[in-house]
Amino acid sequence: QRLERPPHHPGAQKTDQAIQVLKRGIELSPINGFFHKALALQYIHQKNYPKALESMKLHLALFPEDSFMRNLIQQVEASSRPQ
What are the pLDDT digits (tens) for 57-66? Answer: 999 999 999 9
CA distances from 66 to 51, 60, 63 (A): 19, 7, 6
Percent of the chain with pLDDT over 70: 86
Which pTM value belongs to this model? 0.75
The mean pLDDT value for 63-71 works out to 92
- The gap from C-alpha 21 to its chain's centroid, in whole angstroms, comes to 13
